Structure 1
């Protein structure tokens, strides 16, 4: 799954903030006395928004470094989290983008393997049911695969949600400057806080979940496991483990995004203007 269709991330905040300040300049030049007053408010919001954006960028990078340290201590080799290394501080704009692209590749590799195995198992079960002589085997395979079916369904849903979350989170990271500007207004600070919270918290958590999942081998059911039903049952636990890791990652990412959004919202309450 390729995310290369997104523009260069470091150009987005520069363009957004420049256009917002240019809007203030237009108000000042052509809006008369009221326009000048409004222009000062726009420039004030723009400068505070730029400071908030810089703070959010550094906070997200620092959070990624903390998650990476925790993962290393826990025995997880950083892969997607490696983009948050302090040595790569000059790439701070690209860290979240590269981490999300890496995470999507990990989630997709497991999704593709489980989906292929799921299709093969029930394809063989259906094919064996065509002939009377293999009908009992088809029924036995179907019964043995029921736990696997439940685990695979949960894993596929969780992995699909994780990939969607990565794409959505990448969008939030590109909207960070807009979120920072929205926080400076009393009417829109809740929306801005939500964007900042998601854009800052979710990239390192989703990348950490992908690195944890990288330690788990992908699932593929080999032909002998169609006959040895006990082996098929063992694979069920493997798939359930994948589902559990991804579900926990999504839960932590959501909680972290909400917690940070509340912090930004509280900060916005003190700096927001009407």
Structure 2
């Protein structure tokens, strides 16, 4: 599942390509909205909200999409071949005179009234990359259930909107605890540092082509533990481990047994 910085980048690419221009073509290839035609409506803006994308049109309509594990939006110039998957995976086509945005494998795609956006994204916690970021509220939500494992609490978008598996594993490593340690067992100063670090990392990476949490310049060492199973920890040399509960890629975790304390699977 994409992290918040990836969704932020996608939103800004879509905004740059579409905002301020009327649609010359609208094709929503999902049964419920297949007859909805947005042609002629001007795109007002494309806004990220956590991992959600809100494309707003004049007339008070919003196209709400979510990428989840496999979804992607691609932008093409007029006449350019659409790349990103076979035609049967296309779920949305939005064209202006200058660009075409094609949504592939979008698991969530719906047209709603702009005034009803809170029904789609109102459950989300403070957005790590949003103008409404509230670290105190994020901290309160993160610590609301002391018995909950840290990794689950970080992934819950109702606490902090924008964290996925990469940042979950990296934040646990930087806090020197495993993702399965209950939030209530963290040392007193750790939760506020986790919230601040999460915000700092996503802000630092939102404009980068390659995500980085380490301070090394080596391209092979951009992340401390994520994706480094069986490779030596960058700090202590202990082989990094990986856990994927019941084959659930939404909950895959990486950790260093030498640097991180706490329960493990």
TM-score w.r.t. length of structure 1: 0.22
Structure number with the bigger relative contact order (C-alpha 8 A, sep ≥ 6) is: 1
Return the index of the structure with the highest Cα Rg: 1
